[in-house]
Amino acid sequence: MKKRVVIFGDSNTWGYDAVTGGRFNEEIRWPMVAAKILGNEYRILEEGLCGRTTCLEDPFNEGLSGLTYILPCLQTHSPLDMLVVMLGTNDCKQRFSLTAANIALGMRRLVKKAMEAEVWRDNPNILVIAPGPILKECELSEVGKNMGVCSDKSYEIAKEYELIAKELGVGFFDSSKCVEMNDIDFMHLTADSHIALAKEVSVIIKNTLENKELKA
């Protein structure tokens, strides 16, 4: 059986294109580009949803809490070899009134639930990705009417996620090292950033699962 990897995220995993207001095609979306890079030995399972949070119920839109969906999602795709999670951007919305440390606690709850799920082919392999920060210009853009004051805390998420990842013994990657936000809404990845992120994450997936096989 192919190595099965779920990539779980929000609109920047779903592939929102700020230029068209639609969705990037499979040649651009980073989970699908990663699938192409990794090749036929891997089955990449794309689970992105616009507006998704780590664990928060949105008062205006139902079904966006990652915590309530993660278990059936993983069960649907089991048996699994790895889970990649990139969430936190929507947790920055002003209406949730969270700090970056609060957002990291939401990620901690999500990861712990995934670790304890009976969906793993062997032991859990989880990679937490800190999303690229929301640029300050977002707050003055059209989408800023929904996001509110959100930028400053987004720059603090990576260091908080890294602490949580170390505590739980899971992988961590700071996507700000390779991605840029577009100059329209200032919170969604550019097409080039999707490609760059795919290259980085595919290496981590491959190294994680192949090193696991060598140790077996």
C-alpha 137, offset from chain centre:
22
Residues of the chain with pLDDT under 70: 212-216
The CATH architecture that domain 3-215 belongs to is 3-Layer(aba) Sandwich (3.40)
Residue 212: per-residue pLDDT: 62
Residue 216: per-residue pLDDT: 47
Domain ranges, ordered by start, for the chain:
3-215
pTM: 0.96
Q: Please write the tens of the pLDDT for every residue from 153-190.
A: 999 999 999 999 999 999 999 999 999 999 999 999 99
Of 31, 123, 121, 35, the residue nearest 78 (C-alpha): 121
